[in-house]
Amino acid sequence: MSVERPSSWTVDSDIDGIDLDPSDFGSSIPLKKVPNGDIFEASRAGDIDRLRYLLETGLNVNARDQWDSVALYYACLAGHLDAARMLLESGAICSEHTFDGDRCHYAALNLKVRKLLKAFEARPPPLAPLQAALRETFLGCGANRAFIEQAASLFPGFASAGDPKYDTFPPDVTFYIQGRPIQGHRVILSARSPFFKKKFEADWEDRNEVRFSKEKLSYTALYSLLHFFYSDRLEISVDDMEDLVRICKVCKCDSLQKTLEKELIHQKYADYKALRDADNSQKRFILQGSSLPAEDRLPAAMSRLLEASLSNSSAYSISPNGGNSLIASVGKLQIGEFVNDLADVCVKVGKRVFRCHQVVLASRSEYFRARISRMKEFYEERDEVPLSKLPYLEEHDLAMETFEKMIEYMYTDSLKEVDPDQAEEMFDAASRYLLFPLKRAVADVLLPHLEMVSPAELCHWLTLSDMYGVLKIREYCLDMIACNFETFADTPEFRAMLLTLPPPSGDSSLRTTVPSAPGAAVNIDQGNLLDDLREKWLEAEAAELDKRDESALLFDNRLEMLMLVAKQENAANPSDGGEG
C-alpha cells in the first residue's frame, strides 16, 4: 500500500542545531492508517494525516489517556519522528523534570527521537504574540526580573527570562509575600481573576502596595500564578502545587484549580511508579494555556475586557451637535455606568473615544509605550474632556473602524471579519503602531480574497505590500504576475505602475546568482520589486540555466518597451496619474 506522504520535513534554519537529516524522517515501515482513531492511536500508529486533522480541531495536545500517557509518549515510544515533531510544534510538553517530559525521554525509541526531544526541550513552543508581549511586560518589572534571574541560577532552564527591554511599561501594584515583592498590573490581574477584580474595586482601590501576611501563602506559587496570568503558561515546581491550588481557590480560577487538583492526584499516584531517584525538589509541572477551556485562556479574558470597555466607549460617540452634549454624556458616564472596565486611558480616533488599557497598548506597541511615557513632555489636548480624569490621547489620520479592529487584535491576538477594503488601512496601522504580527494576520485574511481580483487590483496590492513590507502578499502578487506576465503586460495599470517603481538593477552578476544563494539575501524584505519580478519570471518562463542570461536580457528589453508605452500613455492622459 503506498501512502502519499508530505515530502520530508524541510529542516528550517531554527532546527539546524540538531543533526537530523531529512532522511531521518522517512520511515521504511509503511505506516498504519487509523481513520477513526483518537490522538493517542494516531500518534502510536504514526498516522500524521489523522493527527494533523485532530490537532486542527484544537484538542488538548497534553491530555493523558486512561493509561496515563500523553500522545507524545506514544509517538516517542513507537519512534515516529514526524508525528512527534508535529505534536511538539503544537505545544506538547517535553521539558525535563516534568512527569510527562521525563517519561517521553525514557521512552524514546532511539537516539534520533531523543535528539528531537532535546532540541524542543531547549526551546519550548514559542508563545503567541499577545502572550509573549505581556510576559515581557511582566518580566520587565524590576522585582519580577530579579526573581527570575535568581531562579534561573538555581534551576537552569526554568523559563529563561530572555533579555528584557530596559523600558517596559511600569507596574502599578506590588505585592509583598514574606517580604519578597512581585509586581503586576491591575488590569491583567482583574481580567484573569474575579478575586483580584473585586479587591481592586474595593479595598485595594487606592493602594499600589499590598502586603500579605499569611504565613501559608507561598511566594513561588503566587509568582507562578501571576506569570500564568500574563503568559498563559504555568511552570511550577511540584512542591508548590498544593499552595497554588489554595491560591486558585481564593482567586476563583476554577478551571485552573481543577486541572491542578487532578494533576496533584496524578503526581501523588505517579510517585509510586517513579523510582524516586530523581531529586523531588527539581520536579516541575508545566501547563500550557491550551490545556484549559478556551474561555479561561488569556485571549478570552482580554476579549471580555475589551468588550466591556468598548461597550462603554460607544457611549462616547460625539453627537453631531457638538461639544456640549459630549461633556454632558461624559458627566453622565462619570456617575458610574462604566466603572467595571478598568480603563486607564482614552484614545480619540476620528469621532470616537475608545476607553483602553495602558498596559495592553504599551505591551503590544512600542509606539504607545513611548507615547504614554512621554505624555508629560509633549503637548496633548488634555482639556478637551475636562471631566474625565483619564489621560487622553488623540490619533489622527486613522479610521475608527480600523482602530477598533486593531485594538481587537491587540487584546485578543485574533481578527474576525476583516473587510478586504479595510486591509489597506490595517496594513497602515500595523506599520505605524509597529504591530508587525498584525500584518501577517491581515494578510492571512486577505489572501483568499486576492484569488478573485483583477490584474489591475493585484498591481495595487503589490505596490501596497511592497510599501508596508507584507511579504506574504508581495510574494503572492509577484508569483501571479510572473506566471501571467503577458496578461499583465496588456494591463495599463501594470504599465503605469512600472513607471512609479525604481528601475531594476542592471548588474548582471546579481542576475546569475540564483534566487536563494546565501549572499543574495541581504535585503530580503525591501528588495527591488522589478529585480524580484525578474527572478520570478525567470523561474517560471526562462530556458535552462545556461540560457538564463539571455532570458533575463529578453525580460529587461520587454520591461523597457512596456515603460515606453506607459510614458506615452501618461503623456496622452495626464490626469490619469492624479487624484484618486
Partner 1 sequence: MSNPQKKRNFQIEAFKHKVVVDPKYADKTWKILEHAIHEIYNHNSSGLSFEELYRNAYNMVLHKFGEKLYTGLVTTMTAHLKEISKSIEDAQGGLFLEELNRKWNEHNKALQMIRDILMYMDRTFIPSTRKTPVHELGLILWRDNVIYASNIRTRLLDTLLELVHRERTGEVINRGLMRNIIKMLMDLGSSVYQEEFEQQFLEVSAEFYKGESQKFIECCDCGEYLKKAEKRLNEEMERVTHYLDGKSEAKITNVVEKEMIENHMLTLVHMENSGLVKMLLDDRYEDLGRMYTLFRRVSNGLLTIREVMTSHIREIGKQLVTDPEKLKDPVEFVQRLLDEKDKYDSIINLAFSNDKMFQNALNSSFEYFINLNARSPEFISLFVDDKLRKGLKGVTEEDVEVILDKVMMLFRYLQEKDVFEKYYKQHLAKRLLSGKTVSDDAERSLIVKLKTECGYQFTSKLEGMFTDMKTSQDTMQGFYSSHLELGEGPTLTVQVLTTGSWPTQPTVTCNLPAEMSTLCEKFRSYYLGTHTGRRLSWQTNMGTADIKATFGKGQKHELNVSTYQMCVLMLFNNSDRLSYKEIEQATEIPASDLKRCLQSLALVKGKNVLRKEPMSKDIGEEDAFFVNDKFVSKFYKVKIGTVVAQKESEPEKQETRQRVEEDRKPQIEAAIVRIMKSRRVLDHNNIITEVTKQLQSRFLANPTEIKKRIESLIERDFLERDNVDRKLYRYLA
Stretch near partner 1 under the rule CB under 8 A, chosen from 26-34, 209-217, 409-417, 452-460: 452-460
Contacts of partner 1 in 524-543 (CB under 8 A): 525-526
451 binds partner 1 (CB under 8 A): no
x/- letters, 416..435, toward partner 1 (CB under 8 A): -----x--xx--x--xx-x-
562 binds partner 1 per the rule CB under 8 A = no
What number of chain residues touch partner 1 (CB under 8 A)? 46
CB of 364 to partner 1, least distance (A): 14
User: Out of 132, 270, 330, 399, which residue is the one contacting partner 1 (CB under 8 A)?
Assistant: 399
d(CA 427, CA 445): 12
Strand-pairing partners, residue 175, are 182, 210
CB of 490 to partner 1, least distance (A): 16
Closest approach of partner 1 to the CB of residue 496, in Å:
5
Interface residue with partner 1 among 87, 251, 305, 400 (CB under 8 A) is 400
Question: Does residue 394 sit in helix, strand or coil?
Answer: strand
- The window from 240-248, 262-270, 375-383, 538-546 that contacts partner 1 (CB under 8 A) reads 375-383
Bridge partners (DSSP) of residue 286 are 235
Looking at this protein, which amino acid is placed at residue 160?
Answer: S
C-beta of 276 vs 396, nearer to partner 1: 396
Interface with partner 1 includes 47 (CB under 8 A)? no
Angle at the Cα of 225 from the Cα atoms of 222 and 228, rounded to 5 degrees: 155
Per the CB < 8 A criterion, the answer to whether 337 and 315 are in contact is yes
The DSSP output letter for 452 is: T
- Which one of 49, 65, 366, 541 is in contact with partner 1 (CB under 8 A)? 366
Containing H/E element for 174?
Answer: strand 173-177
Pairing outcome for strands 352-356 and 345-349: antiparallel
**Residues 6 or more apart whose Cβ sits within 8 Å of residue 468:** 427, 428, 430, 431, 439
Q: Please report how the helices 298-314 and 400-412 are oriented relative to each other, as an axis angle in degrees rounded to 10.
A: 150
Q: Does 370 bind partner 1 (CB under 8 A)?
A: yes
Q: Is 467 near partner 1 (CB under 8 A)?
A: yes
Q: Should residue 18 be labelled a site residue for partner 1 when binding is judged by CB under 8 A?
A: no
Closer to partner 1 by CB, 347 or 552: give it. Answer: 347
Q: Which is nearer to partner 1, 243 or 395 (CB)?
A: 395
- Is-contact 300 294, C-beta < 8 A? yes
Could you tell me if 159 and 139 are in contact, meaning their C-beta atoms sit under 8 angstroms apart? Answer: no
Task: Read off φ and ψ for residue 356, nearest 5 degrees.
Answer: -130, 180
Binding mask 488-507 for partner 1 (x = CB under 8 A): -----x--xx--x-------
Q: Dihedral, CA atoms, 541, 544, 545, 549, nearest 10 degrees?
A: -60
Cβ 492 vs Cβ 569: under 8 Å: yes
Candidates 35, 518, 574, 580: give the one binding partner 1 (CB under 8 A).
Answer: 580
Residues that bind partner 1 (CB under 8 A): 350-351, 366-367, 370-371, 374, 377-380, 393-397, 399-401, 421, 424-425, 428, 431-432, 434, 456-457, 459-460, 463, 467-469, 493, 496-497, 500, 523, 525-526, 576-580
